[in-house]
Chains A and B, each alone.
Chain A
Amino acid sequence: MNKQITLAMGNGGEENNELISKVFYKAFKNDILEKSEDAAVIHAGELAFSTDSFTVSPLFFPGGDIGKLAICGTCNDLAMMGAKPKYLTCSVIIEEGFSTRELEKIVRSMKKELESNGAIVVSGDTKVVPRGSVDKIFINTTGIGEIQKKGISSNSISKEDVILVSRDLGRHGATIFAAREGIELSSSLESDCASLTHQVQALIEAGVKITALRDATRGGVSAVLNEWAKQSNICIEVQEDSIPVSAEVYGICEMLGFEAVNLANEGTFVLAIKKEDEQKALNILQTFENSSNAVKIADVSDEYIGKVVLLSSYGTKRFLDTPTGELLPRIC
């Protein structure tokens, strides 16, 4: 590992994983941590517990802001373990000179998103640091949720599952990049930043046989599929032409040489569902506005254990690896 921390180590991809395992997991070794789920399952499987920090730049972007992101991010991590978000903390580190009005705007966003999730902030911390010590504002939220369906785990996906994705990919990454590059968007491209609690609840209540859920953030759907392939010791075979990508995200990817599967999302999740419930799950997802184009993208096999394979529609195949390099720093 490098002598110095590089930006790539925060990319949600390969370098990030290396940093986490060689420094943090090594020191904090324990069974719960090593499961590497979206949220820790504690208290005899009754509660889910998760934390996340938010450093996104720019603070306000089409489709959301750092406040909305801070609540969605943690609530979604809880939802991905089948939990209902209940209590959150909110810690902020604010740069001297930051606009109070902007701070209030951010906090209003957070309030709105909390209400949508049915959760409350019960504890917090506020620090103000000298100009230049942080870039405007960094937020950390930690959440506790009540698990509604036990056993959801990324370590037990098998050939009896199919892989679905809740909507078209890469919106958040594409939006942030466009905002940063000053690329004008003539269309309605905005971040997919949204809470996923209600969709998950609906799937649980309908008794859908959910094996695993994970929201695709930094590193995109590609990172999730690779994590699943390794954690569950399976091969995930993706039909390339079934991957949903909107025209605008496609355009940005073309322009800048990205692949949508590697771009960050903030309101899109990947599901591993038992084969027989595929249609049931899709029907439920498609009733929600932001998962109206939910679709199956992959099957599970044992062709190349631990790997993700992309199958083209003209008969070729290639591996889809975990993204490397600093694709987009400070994306979330």
Chain B
Amino acid sequence: MCLSIPSKVVKIDLERNVATVDTMGVQREAGLELMEEGDVKIGDYVLLHIGFIMNKIDEEDAMESLKVYNEILQKLDEEERKQMVIDDDNCENRKA
């Protein structure tokens, strides 16, 4: 029911007020009734829900989120490596 998915706009038909969106190679038409005129352009990423375009995906915010996730991973990686070094230094088997 709540199924809304990100898709890319590949075609716009202003006469019938529909856009054609592509989701991983699968194309579908979606109504533009919920979007302001001229708001949706070809190449935009949009959220598709039961046959309508619900909103545009803010690319900058999306990329920002992904960037933050990468930073989190890097930081965790670093901490893990530091911990591994500490564990190694404290390894019982090494004690003289």
Contact = CB atoms under 8 A, between A and B. Distances in A.
Interface of A: 178, 183-187, 189, 247-248, 250-252, 254-257
A183 B28 CA distance: 5
Interface of B is mostly: strand
Contact of A178 (B10, B24, B26, B29): B26
B5 A186 contact: no
A184 B28 contact: yes
B44 interface: no
A189 B27 contact: no
Interface in B47-77: 48
Interface of B: 3, 5, 10, 20, 22-29, 48
A254 B25 contact: no
A189 B24 CA distance: 11
B23 A251 contact: yes
Contacts of A251: 23-26
Contact of A189 (B10, B22, B26): B26
Given A186-B22, A254-B23, A255-B5, 7 more contacts: A184-B28, A184-B29, A185-B27, A186-B27, A187-B26, A247-B24, A248-B26
B24 A257 contact: no
A184 B27 contact: yes
Interface of A is mostly: helix
Contact of A185 (B5, B10, B25, B29): B25
Contacts of B24: 247-248, 250-251, 254
Contacts of B25: 185-187, 189, 247-248, 251
A102 to B, nearest CB: 27
B7 to A, nearest CB: 8
Contacts of A247: 24-25
B3 A252 contact: no
Contacts of A255: 3, 5, 23, 26, 28, 48
A187 B28 CA distance: 12
Contacts of B27: 183-186
A173 to B, nearest CB: 13
A186 B21 CA distance: 11
In the A-B complex, the 8 residue pairs with the smallest Cβ-Cβ separation, listed nearest first, are: A251-B24, A187-B25, A251-B26, A251-B23, A248-B25, A184-B27, A247-B24, A186-B27
A178 B24 CA distance: 14
7 contacts: A183-B26, A184-B20, A247-B24, A251-B25, A254-B23, A254-B24, A255-B23
A250 B23 CA distance: 9
Nearest to A251: B24
B76 to A, nearest CB: 13
A178 B20 CA distance: 15
Nearest to B6: A254
A239 B5 CA distance: 25
B45 to A, nearest CB: 14
A186 B26 contact: yes
Nearest to A250: B24
A186 B28 CA distance: 10
Contact of A252 (B20, B22, B26, B48): B26
A186 B24 CA distance: 10
Contacts of A184: 20, 26-29
A14 to B, nearest CB: 22
